[in-house]
Structure 1
Amino acid sequence: MSRQVLVRNAHVVPGSGPELPGTDVLCTDGVITAVAPGLEARAAPGCEVIDATGLTVTAGFVDAHRHVWQAPLRGTGADMGLPRYFAEVLGTALHAMTPAAAAAATRLGAALALDAGITTVFDYSNATRSPEHTDAIVEAFEASGIRAVVGHGDPSATADVRRLAARTGRVTGALAILGPDYGDWDEAVAQLTFGRDLGLTVAAHAGGATVRRLHDAGLLGPDLQLVHLNAVTAGDAKLLADTGTAVVVTPTVEAVMGHGASAYGRLADAGARPALGVDVVINNPPDLFEPLRDTLRTARLATGSASLPPAADLLRAVTADGARAVGLGGVVGTVEAGRRADLLLLDGLGHLTGERAGAVVSCLTATDVRTVLVDGRVVKRDGHLVV
């Protein structure tokens, strides 16, 4: 028997066309099957009906870069720069983490994300230190109800990476490498080739120094995800845009930890499609509303305009462009038939009579996340997690 959920009478922000007030969203077996008014007649007996009157429905947010295992360290690094981070977090804390601890940390990180409306997370996972760690992390994500792309952080563990690459469904695999900006060029090329041969998205931290070399070597492309890029030039940003390379910025962490000015504007101006990430929670809230507003403020300061860029345009950085950056561009990121039913029901804007996407970006917080669905299953209902 099919499992159906009907979200009724919502103001839908589809992300793929005009906003749709007074609209229903019908989900069948985890897939959005219809978006239109008056869908109750199409619902099967036993369909769960969620009254969304006064609420705003968007695609679930996609966190395109997070080190999920660091969830228990939240708040420990308010004044922590990169040298201390490498020593204390990636040194001491990481190497003390057992598989059981990795599982518990992953469950906590997933819960924090879901509570804030993040339905998909790309986990750049330093914690995949053994097959037992990898299994613990995957199992924790499966139990949490979130959609996760687990970036294996040890490319030398080829058998474990291959095992992760074979996964399908709500929790899938990727490869997380150091990258040529911070490591050996030949090693980075070999790792990128290995990941590509497995059909994986390959993620790397990057300052921007090797973008042109990657381009000249024919190594840029949609299955390569470069994160941060604070030093990228306008010309190199154009190379990334022209090759469709996935780019992710984490503006709040980049500012707090001294990475440099966000590259979002340079990337967007060049025609790239930058996504946003939380990155770490040692000094940063576990939601994407703050990075959205930080990006909006920075962009408005650059343009000197009260309306450029439009706030609504930034919403795609945590929906459609986020999905694309983690290799799920055809799976999630918009509210339209055929996409997986990852949805947010947001409170606080029911008094508005016009478009709401800009208000979601400029005004809402994680406390406005009322109900969350992943794969058509309710994981947060009326303000409370149920997984």
Structure 2
Amino acid sequence: MKTLLSGGVVVSMDSAIGDLARGDVLVENGKITLVAERVDAPDAEVIDASDRIVMPGFVDNHRHGWQTAFRGAGADWTFPEWAVAMHGTVKPHYRPEDVYVGTLLGRLEALHSGVTTMLDWYHVAQGPEHEDAAIAALREVPARSVFCLGAGWGSADSVDDAIRRVHTHLAEDRSVSLVWGLRGPEDTGMDGLVRELKLAAELGLRTSLHTGSDGTQRPIADLHEHGLLRATTTFVHGNGISDEELRMLADAGSWLSVSPDVELKMGFVNPLTGRARAVGLRPTLSVDDVPSVGGDMFSTMRTAFAVQRGLDGGLDSRDLLESTTIDAAASCGLDARTGSLTPGKDADIILLRTDDITVFPVTDPAGSIVSAGHPGLVDTVLVAGRVVKRDGTLLGVDLPTLKARLIASRNRIADAAGVPLDGTWRPRSAR
């Protein structure tokens, strides 16, 4: 089967191909086979890409999908308030079906806004039925997903059993891969982290770890001293760590995921985007959690861009596109399959409207995407060559039914937890 995306503005994110003011992209059997100014493929199905930017789909390498039902509830929360609200108040009342519908709607929202690959950082941690519900939801969405199992804070044996079980469960899965969300030395001690990293290596798993410092701790230096920095680990946030520690990450080939909207709103201090790039680290960007912020990569890029330009004039729009496509794909170990419009890679492609009045006329495509882009521009989405969104609408999705299920889930959890849904909920015990 052949598909030709014809006549679009091509932003390939492949340095050997570059950008094309007018270009064609040929897809065969789910793979990109040719990117050129003109492609002759008379036997291909043609998708008219005129008045469209054609680019690789976004990659979000850190999002907690299970929280989707409480979208917007935490707009005014600090980080301690978020922790009390989501983990201490509502999480104990989540059933497997709540995890399922929240993860499903969260992943569909991301796909709708052009995120063809998403790492779902699962830490609802109630048991295997909840884990399986999250995986089932990710499998149902026609997109590329990474299930990051944060297996909870039980015994070492129970955590090991969980990661081994899910590893076996996903061993042959092409649409959902597995990453281990580590607990960190503050929960396990260095010996515990050594053991978990050893098991991750044994299973061939990449890892992800939340970290940061208030200026008195040196978490990355501690890991470096114990020989625990890996090219297969993504460190999330990292706010407050020193430039010296950022160099340690760069030297180890580790990755950094910056969630600028959450970090600024919740008081994590400035995002590390510019400081990381200054020492040779390739920071990536992520949404984090939608109770507090929007769920699209356009706003995430714009915040990171504006903040860094305000701090030191650094970054340009191309840097932000790299952070949300090819670099983010590499952080998930998927850059050989996705992240750029490179022949041989899977056809994970989005088409953005250039005739929409909010961006028209598009003079600099990369600049327009970063400075003015929004989910309403996402006209068409392909995942592995399959069209999953066309003319602004997700295909084969019964959204009214799913929305009703999510509302019912939210209302039941809120009632069980004793929290209001009238905009007055503020977990004051955390203040």
TM range (shorter): over 0.9
Q: 1:167 to 1:174 in 2, by over 3 A?
A: farther
The amino acid across from 1:10 in the alignment is: G
Q: 1:128 to 1:169 in 2, by over 3 A?
A: farther
What's the secondary structure of 1:282's corresponding residue?
coil
- Residue 377 of structure 1 corresponds to which residue in structure 2? 386
Shift of 1:245: 0.1
Contact between 1:123 and 1:151, CA under 8 Å: does it hold in 2?
yes
- Residue 191 of structure 1 corresponds to which residue in structure 2? 196
TM-score, normalised relative to structure 2: 0.84
- Residue 6 of structure 1 corresponds to which residue in structure 2? 4
Contact between 1:248 and 1:275, CA under 8 Å: does it hold in 2?
yes
After superposition, give the CA deviation of every residue in 1:36-66 in whole Å (9 maximum; x if it has no partner): 1332x3354xx43210001101110011100
After superposition, give the CA deviation of every residue in 1:114-142 in whole Å (9 maximum; x if it has no partner): 11111111111113533322222222112
- Residue 346 of structure 1 corresponds to which residue in structure 2? 352
Matched, 1:42 2:33: no
Shift of 1:253: 0.4
For residues 91 and 387 of structure 2, what CA distance do their matches in structure 1 show?
32
For residues 37 and 125 of structure 2, what CA distance do their matches in structure 1 show?
46
Out of 49, 52, 67, the position equivalent to 1:52 is 49
For residues 289 and 172 of structure 2, what CA distance do their matches in structure 1 show?
26
- Residue 97 of structure 1 corresponds to which residue in structure 2? 94
TM-score, normalised relative to structure 1: 0.93
- Residue 84 of structure 1 corresponds to which residue in structure 2? 81
Runs (4+) of structure 1 exceeding 6 A deviation are none
Shift of 1:319: 0.3
Shift of 1:182: 5.5
Matched, 1:322 2:328: yes
Contact between 1:6 and 1:43, CA under 8 Å: does it hold in 2?
no
Q: How does 1:227-246 map to 2 (within 5 A)?
A: 227-246=236-255
For residues 94 and 147 of structure 1, what CA distance do their matches in structure 2 show?
26
Q: CA RMSD, aligned part only?
A: 1.9
Q: 1:258 to 1:359 in 2, by over 3 A?
A: same
For residues 281 and 381 of structure 2, what CA distance do their matches in structure 1 show?
29
Matched, 1:65 2:65: no
Q: How does 1:1-387 map to 2 (within 5 A)?
A: 3-17=1-15, 18-39=18-39, 41-42=40-41, 44=43, 47-127=44-124, 129-154=126-151, 155-156=159-160, 157-164=162-169, 166-181=171-186, 183-208=188-213, 209-303=218-312, 305=313, 308-348=314-354, 355-387=364-396
For residues 67 and 192 of structure 1, what CA distance do their matches in structure 2 show?
22
For residues 205 and 50 of structure 1, what CA distance do their matches in structure 2 show?
41
Of 132-141 and 232-241, the range deviating more from structure 2? 132-141
What's the secondary structure of 1:80's corresponding residue?
coil
After superposition, give the CA deviation of every residue in 1:325-376 in whole Å (9 maximum; x if it has no partner): 1221221110110111111101136865754112211111111111111111
Q: 1:128 to 1:48 in 2, by over 3 A?
A: farther
After superposition, give the CA deviation of every residue in 1:4-57 in whole Å (9 maximum; x if it has no partner): 222111111011122112211111222111111332x3354xx43210001101
Q: How many residues align?
A: 379
The amino acid across from 1:118 in the alignment is: V
For residues 201 and 96 of structure 1, what CA distance do their matches in structure 2 show?
30
Shift of 1:159: 3.2
The amino acid across from 2:29 in the alignment is: D
The amino acid across from 2:14 in the alignment is: S
What's the secondary structure of 2:205's corresponding residue?
coil
Contact between 2:167 and 2:178, CA under 8 Å: does it hold in 1?
no
Of 215-224 and 50-59, the range deviating more from structure 2? 215-224
Of 70-79 and 350-359, the range deviating more from structure 2? 350-359
Shift of 1:181: 4.9
What's the secondary structure of 1:26's corresponding residue?
strand
Q: Which has the larger radius of gyration?
A: 2
After superposition, give the CA deviation of every residue in 1:134-170 in whole Å (9 maximum; x if it has no partner): 2222221121112110011113424323324524312
Give the unaligned 5+ runs of structure 2: 152-158, 397-431
Shift of 1:266: 1.1
Q: 1:231 to 1:182 in 2, by over 3 A?
A: farther
For residues 373 and 170 of structure 2, what CA distance do their matches in structure 1 show?
36
Of 113-122 and 158-167, the range deviating more from structure 2? 158-167
For residues 150 and 23 of structure 1, what CA distance do their matches in structure 2 show?
35
The amino acid across from 2:141 in the alignment is: S
Contact between 2:56 and 2:341, CA under 8 Å: does it hold in 1?
yes
What's the secondary structure of 1:184's corresponding residue?
helix
Q: 1:164 to 1:200 in 2, by over 3 A?
A: farther
Contact between 2:348 and 2:383, CA under 8 Å: does it hold in 1?
yes
Shift of 1:196: 2.1
